[in-house]
Amino acid sequence: MTGTSWPGESRVPEEAARSGSGDSRPPARSPEEARASTGPTGNRLTVLSGPSGVGKSTVVAELRRAHPEVWLSVSVTTRKPRPGETHGVEYFFADGDEFDRLIACGELLEWAEFAGNRYGTPRTPVLEKLAAGVPTLLEIDLQGARQVRATMPEALLVFLAPPSWEELEKRLRGRGTEPEDVIARRLAAGRVEMAAEQEFDMTLVNTSVQDVCHRLIALMADAPEASRPGRSPS
């Protein structure tokens, strides 16, 4: 994140050392997380997850456009920007050393390695938004969703599923932004993610971006009822 000031810094290195995919121990739950996973107005943290290529970022882009009242966490990644991606908008792009520093300083709520790159959620902005009662959404992978489940059990975990496996493969290849070996790694990760659907509170099938957004907003607005398990084609 060279050249970008960081919004708030917590410093809990011993806690951070237990986070992330490189360690099987559950991440520690700080008092702030315990308090913040349900905000004062009843807004809960919502996590959107699902296999790479399913369309999470398209859904998030549509949410940004149509529902500016929802705050979307901007993750940090060591992945290189794709054409059209802007530092601070889709991601904060960081090098490996910077990412190490964020872990060591306890600045990541969760983090994971995915298809050869690392991704993490900045902790402080999420806790601040929840404390202020702002509906807050994380778009993260399965490993990250599991960490959030462990540290903030009240969070609503939503799984975005493709209409079919063939469709997922088609979308991933059709993006045309990754070489074949990266696509293969993402498909392998996708199989693992698809097998974990039952760990989530709710599944939305991505047949239409607008419908998924509509249902997601309804779930976030009505989180307690929405957390009943179920599968819902959009």
Q: Are 213 and 59 in contact (CB under 8 A)?
A: yes
Do the annotations mark residue 55 as ligand-binding?
yes
Q: Is there binding between residue 185 and ligand 5GP (CB under 6 A)?
A: no
56 is in an annotated binding site: yes
Least distance (Å) from ligand 5GP to the CB of residue 55?
11
Q: Is 53 annotated as a binding residue?
A: yes
From candidates 43, 46, 75, 234, binder to ligand 5GP by CB under 6 A: 75
**Alpha-carbon distance 212 to 189, whole Å?**
23
Neighbours of 41 (CB within 10 A): 10
Part of the chain binding ligand 5GP (CB under 6 A), chosen from 60-68, 118-126, 197-205, 209-217: 118-126
Instruction: Give the total of residues touching ligand 5GP (CB under 6 A).
Output: 16
CA–CA distance, 171 with 159 (Å, rounded to integer) = 17
What's the closest the beta carbon of residue 52 comes to ligand 5GP, in angstroms?
A: 5
- Residue 129 counted as an annotated binding residue: no
DSSP 199: G
Tokens coding 199: 């760990």
38: buried, middle or exposed (CB in 10 Å: 19+, 13-18, 0-12)? middle
The piece of 3-11, 62-70, 140-148, 219-227 that touches ligand 5GP (CB under 6 A) is 140-148
139 binds ligand 5GP (CB under 6 A): yes
CB-count exposure of residue 143 (10 Å: 0-12, 13-18, 19+):
buried
- Our finding on whether 121 is near ligand 5GP (CB under 6 A) is yes
Write the CB contacts of 198 (distance below 8 Å, at least 6 apart in sequence): none
158 binds ligand 5GP (CB under 6 A): no
Q: Does 151 bind ligand 5GP (CB under 6 A)?
A: no
Q: Binding marks (x or -) toward ligand 5GP, 86..115, rule CB under 6 A?
A: ------------------------xxx-x-
DSSP for 203-226 reads EEE-S-HHHHHHHHHHHHHTHHHH
Q: Which residue is nearest to ligand 5GP (CB)?
A: 144
Grouping H, G, I as helix, E, B as strand and the rest as coil, residue 79 is coil
Please report, as ranges, the residues that interact with ligand 5GP according to CB under 6 A.
Answer: 52, 56, 75, 79, 110-112, 114, 119-121, 139-141, 143-144
